[in-house]
Chain A
Amino acid sequence: MTGFRVVGRDAPLPLGWKSFAILLTALAFAFFVCSMLLLVQGKSPWTALVLLLQGGFGGRYPLEDTLLKAIPLFLCSAGVSIAFRMKVWNIGAEGQFALGGVGATAAVLLLPPDAPAWIMLPSMMLGAALSGGLWGFLPGLLKLRFGLNEIISTLMLNYIGIELMRYLVYGPWKAPSSMGFPMTAMFPASAIFPSLFGRTHAGLLLCVVTALALAAFLSRTRLGFELRAAGENPRNARYARIPYGFLLLFVLTLSGALAGLAGCVEVSSTFNRLQPNLCTGYGYTAIVVAWLSRLRISSIAFFSFFLAGLKVGVENLQIELQVPAAFGGILEGFILLCVLAGQFFHHYRLVRAGAQQEGETA
Chain B
Amino acid sequence: MEQNRAACAGKERMEGIRPVVRLEGICKSFGKVRANSNITLDIRPTRIKALLGENGAGKSTLMSILAGKSRPDSGRIYVDGLPARFRSPKDALEAGIGMVYQHFMLVEAMTVAQNILLGQESGIINPRGMGLRVRELAGRYGLETDPDALVADLSMGERQRVEILKLLYRDCRVLILDEPTAVLTPPEISRLFDALRRMAEDGKAVVFISHKMKEVLELADEVEILRRGEIVDSFLREEVPSERELAARMIGRNLEPRIELVPVKKGEELLRLEDARCEKVESVSLSLRRGEILAVAGVAGNGQKELVEMLTGLREPAGGVLSILGRDWKGFFHAPVRRKDGLVYIPEDRKGLATCPALNLIDNFVLTNRRSFTNGPFMDWKRGEAATRDAIREYSVQPPDPSAPAGSLSGGNLQKLVIAREFYRRPRLIVAENPTQGLDISAMEEVWRRILAAREHAGILLVTSDLSEAVTLADTFAVMYGGRFIDVFPRDDAAKVNAIGLMLAGIKPEEHDGGEAAGT
Contacts and interface: CB of A to CB of B under 8 A. Distances in A.
B73 A236 contact: no
Contact of B74 (A224, A236, A361): A361
A65 interface: no
Residue of A10, A222, A243, A357 ringed by the most chain B CB atoms within 10 A? A222
A220 B377 CA distance: 9
A229 B71 contact: no
A241 interface: yes
A219 B54 CA distance: 38
A360 interface: yes
Contact of A5 (B73, B87, B354, B378): B87
B74 A362 contact: yes
Interface string A1-23: 00001000010000000000000
A239 B347 contact: yes
Interface in B37-95: 71-76, 85, 87
Contact of A241 (B31, B75, B337): B337
A238 B367 contact: no
B477 interface: no
A232 interface: yes
A93 B381 CA distance: 33
B356 interface: yes
A236 B76 contact: no
B370 interface: yes
Contacts of A229: 356, 359, 363, 367
B363 A236 contact: no
B334 to A, nearest CB: 11
A278 to B, nearest CB: 35
A60 interface: no
Given A226-B370, A240-B367, A243-B337, A221 B379 contact: yes
A233 B352 contact: yes
Contacts of A221: 377-379
B352 A228 contact: no
Nearest to A233: B356
Nearest to B341: A241
A222 B378 contact: yes
B377 A223 contact: yes
Nearest to A238: B314
| Interface SS of A by simple majority | helix
A74 to B, nearest CB: 25
B485 interface: no
A359 interface: yes
Interface string B92-123: 00000000000000000000000000000000
A232 B353 contact: no
A360 B314 contact: no
Nearest to B312: A239
Give the interface size class of chain A: 20 to 34
Contacts of B71: 356, 360
B366 interface: yes
A291 B117 CA distance: 38
A222 B378 CA distance: 5
A225 interface: yes
Contacts of B377: 221-223
B309 to A, nearest CB: 10
Contacts of B75: 360
B368 interface: yes
B331 to A, nearest CB: 15
Contacts of A361: 74, 76
A222 B374 contact: yes
Contacts of B342: none
A190 to B, nearest CB: 34
Nearest to B71: A360
Contacts of B509: none
B337 A239 contact: no
Contacts of B72: 360
A111 B348 CA distance: 60
A236 B379 contact: no
A235 interface: yes
Nearest to B405: A11
Contact of A235 (B312, B313, B352): B352
Contact of B370 (A220, A222, A236, A356): A222
Nearest to B374: A222
A223 B378 CA distance: 8
A224 B87 CA distance: 43
B345 interface: yes
Given A236-B355, A239-B353, A225 B73 contact: no
A5 B88 CA distance: 12
B142 interface: no
Given A241-B313, A360-B72, A236 B353 contact: yes
Interface in A335-362: 356-357, 359-362
B358 interface: yes
Nearest to B352: A235
Nearest to A230: B356
Contacts of B501: none
Interface in B354-411: 354-359, 363, 366-368, 370-371, 374, 377-379, 381
Contacts of A222: 370-371, 374, 377-379
Contacts of B353: 235-236, 239
A347 to B, nearest CB: 14
A226 B371 CA distance: 11
Interface of A: 5, 10, 220-226, 228-229, 232-233, 235-236, 238-241, 243, 356-357, 359-362
Closest 5 CB pairs of A and B: A232-B356, A233-B356, A240-B368, A241-B337, A222-B374
Given A235-B352, A240-B367, A361-B76, 7 more contacts: A220-B378, A221-B378, A222-B370, A222-B378, A232-B359, A236-B367, A359-B73
24 contacts: A5-B87, A220-B379, A222-B371, A222-B377, A222-B379, A225-B366, A228-B359, A229-B356, A232-B356, A232-B358, A233-B356, A235-B353, A236-B353, A236-B354, A236-B367, A239-B312, A239-B347, A239-B354, A240-B368, A241-B313, A241-B368, A359-B74, A361-B74, A362-B74
